[in-house]
C-alpha cells in the first residue's frame, strides 16, 4: 500500500479519545450481552426445556445453545469482514452491535417452554446464533476500526484500550448477575427477574448503536475508497493465498488470548470452589478483582508495545504470567490466604493479551486487514476456545495443577512467538 495512506505522526487528540471511548463502551456492552447467558444458564435451562428432562441433559442442551454462539462466530465474522473490507469499517461496526442488541432484547421477552413448547428452545437457539455472528464481526472490526483511526505510534494503546473494554463487559455481566441473585429470591429469579439482565443488555446495546452514529469512517479506508484501491477480488481469497504466515502468527496469538481468558478468568472460579474449596462468594470476589487488573493490564501492555515493540512485551508478559499462574495454582492448598493478591497479580499479567490485536492489525495490509484478522481470530477462537476447557478438564483428572500446566505451555509458546517478533524488529 502507498505510504501516504498512513496517518502522519501526531499525538492522540480529542477525536481519537472520543473514538476510543465510544468503541470501548460499545465493546463492553456487546460482550456483556454475549456473556450474560452463561450466568443464568441453570435458570434458563429449567424454563426452556421440559420439566421432566434429566438435569444433566438439560444442562448439556443449555450449554450447547451457549456454545452455538461460539460456533457461529467464524461464519459471521468472515461475512461481516468481507463487507467491511469492501463497504466500510463503520457500517459493519454499527451493524454488529445492532445484531447483538436486538436478539438480547428478544431473549428477555421470549415465552418459556410451558407457554409455547418446543418453539421456546428453538427461538433461544436462533437468537444465540445471531449473537455469535455479531460478536464474530465486532471484536476484529473494533480492533481494525480503532487502529486505523489513531496515529501508528499509538496503535498498541488503542488496541489495548479496546480489549480492556471487552474484558470490562465480562465483569459487568458478573456484577449484574450477582446483583440480581442478591436482590431477588430464587423463586423471583425463576419467575421474572432472570429477564432483567437481558432487557438491560438490549436497551444498552441499542443506546450504543445510537452512540456509534457519532463515529466516522477510518481515514485509511476512506483514502483507499478515494484512490479506488479496495480489494479487486474476494478479500478472503487474497488472504488465504498471500498472507499464510500472518494467518499462522495470528492464530497462535489468538490461542494465547483465548487460553488466558478461558482458563484464568472463566474457569478458575469453578476450580477454586471444587479443588481448593473456596466459597462461591469468595471465588467470585477474587475473580472480579482479577478482571479489573486484567483490564488495566491490557491497556498497559498495549502502551508498552508501542514503546518497546510487541516481541519484548510478549516475552516479558508471558514469563510473568507463567510464574504467577504457577504460583497461584501450586500454593493455594497450603496458603489459601494468598488467593486475593495472587489472583489479582495473575489477572494483571493475563493482560499481556492486549498485545495480540496490535500484532494482528500490523500483520495484514489495509486492503484485506478486516478479512485477514477476522478469519484468523474467529477460526482459532472457535477451535481453541472450544478445546481448552476439555483439555484442562482432562489434565485436572491427572493433577489439580492441570490449569497451571496448560497455561505454562501457552506461555512458552507466547515467549517463542515474542522472540520471533523481536528478531524481526517488531
Cβ neighbours around 311 below 10 Å, total:
22
- What is 234-426's CATH number? 1.20.1250.20
- What is 12-230's CATH number? 1.20.1250.20
Distance CA(33)–CA(103), nearest Å, equals: 9
Q: Is 326 left (phi over 0), alpha (psi -120 to 50) or beta?
A: alpha
Distance CA(249)–CA(182), nearest Å, equals: 44
Residue-level pLDDT, tens digit, the chain, 426 residues: 344 444 456 677 777 787 788 778 877 887 888 778 877 877 888 888 887 777 667 667 776 776 777 777 787 777 877 777 777 667 776 788 888 889 999 999 999 988 998 898 899 889 988 888 888 777 888 888 888 888 888 999 999 999 998 888 888 988 898 889 889 998 999 999 999 999 999 998 888 888 777 767 666 666 666 665 555 556 777 787 878 899 999 999 999 998 998 889 888 887 888 888 888 778 888 988 999 999 999 999 999 999 999 999 999 999 999 999 999 999 988 889 999 999 999 999 999 999 999 999 999 988 888 888 888 988 898 888 778 877 888 888 888 898 999 999 999 999 999 999 999 877
**What pLDDT, on the 0 to 100 scale, is given for residue 325?**
95
Distance CA(221)–CA(88), nearest Å, equals: 7
**What pLDDT, on the 0 to 100 scale, is given for residue 230?**
53
Judge whether 12-230 and 234-426 match in fold. yes
Distance CA(19)–CA(306), nearest Å, equals: 19
Q: Is 228 left (phi over 0), alpha (psi -120 to 50) or beta?
A: left
The ranges assigned to domains in the chain are 12-230, 234-426
Amino acid at each position: 500500500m502507498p505510504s501516504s495512506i498512513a496517518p502522519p505522526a501526531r499525538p492522540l487528540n480529542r477525536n481519537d479519545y472520543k473514538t476510543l471511548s465510544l468503541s470501548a463502551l460499545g465493546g463492553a456492552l456487546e460482550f456483556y450481552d454475549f456473556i450474560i447467558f452463561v450466568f443464568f444458564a441453570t435458570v434458563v435451562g429449567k424454563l426452556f426445556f421440559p420439566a421432566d428432562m434429566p438435569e444433566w441433559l438439560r444442562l448439556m442442551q443449555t450449554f450447547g445453545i451457549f456454545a452455538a454462539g461460539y460456533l457461529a462466530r467464524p461464519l459471521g465474522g468472515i461475512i461481516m469482514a468481507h463487507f467491511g473490507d469492501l463497504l466500510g469499517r463503520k457500517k459493519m461496526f454499527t451493524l454488529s452491535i445492532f445484531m447483538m442488541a436486538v436478539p438480547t432484547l428478544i431473549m428477555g421477552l421470549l415465552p418459556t417452554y410451558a407457554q409455547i413448547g418446543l418453539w421456546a428452545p428453538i427461538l433461544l437457539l436462533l437468537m444465540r446464533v445471531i449473537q455469535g455472528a455479531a460478536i464474530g464481526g465486532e471484536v476484529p472490526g473494533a480492533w481494525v476500526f480503532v487502529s486505523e483511526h489513531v496515529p501508528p505510534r499509538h496503535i498498541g494503546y488503542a488496541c489495548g484500550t479496546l480489549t480492556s473494554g471487552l474484558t470490562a463487559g465480562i465483569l459487568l455481566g458478573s456484577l449484574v448477575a450477582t446483583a440480581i441473585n442478591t436482590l431477588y429470591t430464587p423463586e423471583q429469579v425463576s419467575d421474572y427477574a432472570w429477564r432483567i439482565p437481558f432487557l438491560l443488555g438490549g436497551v444498552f446495546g441499542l443506546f450504543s448503536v445510537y452512540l456509534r452514529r457519532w463515529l466516522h469512517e477510518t481515514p485509511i479506508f476512506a483514502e483507499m475508497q478515494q484512490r479506488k484501491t479496495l480489494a479487486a477480488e474476494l478479500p478472503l481469497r487474497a488472504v488465504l493465498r498471500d498472507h499464510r504466515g500472518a494467518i499462522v502468527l495470528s492464530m497462535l496469538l489468538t490461542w494465547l488470548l483465548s487460553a488466558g481468558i478461558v482458563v484464568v478468568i472463566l474457569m478458575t472460579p469453578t476450580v477454586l470452589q471444587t479443588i481448593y474449596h473456596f466459597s462461591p462468594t469468595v471465588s467470585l470476589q477474587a475473580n472480579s478483582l482479577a478482571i479489573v487488573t486484567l483490564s488495566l493490564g491490557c491497556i498497559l501492555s498495549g502502551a508498552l508495545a508501542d514503546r518497546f515493540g510487541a516481541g519484548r512485551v510478549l516475552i516479558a508478559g508471558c514469563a510473568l504470567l507463567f510464574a504467577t499462574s504457577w504460583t497461584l495454582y501450586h500454593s493455594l492448598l497450603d496458603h489459601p490466604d494468598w488467593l486475593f493478591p495472587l489472583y489479582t497479580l495473575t489477572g494483571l499479567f493475563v493482560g499481556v493479551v492486549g498485545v495480540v490485536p496490535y500484532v494482528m492489525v500490523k500483520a495484514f495490509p489495509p486492503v484485506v486487514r478486516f478479512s485477514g484478522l477476522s478469519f484468523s481470530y474467529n477460526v482459532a477462537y472457535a477451535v481453541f476456545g472450544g478445546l481448552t476447557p476439555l483439555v484442562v478438564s482432562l489434565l485436572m483428572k491427572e493433577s489439580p495443577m492441570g490449569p497451571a500446566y496448560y497455561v505454562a505451555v501457552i506461555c512458552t509458546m507466547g515467549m517463542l512467538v515474542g522472540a520471533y517478533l523481536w528478531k524481526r524488529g517488531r
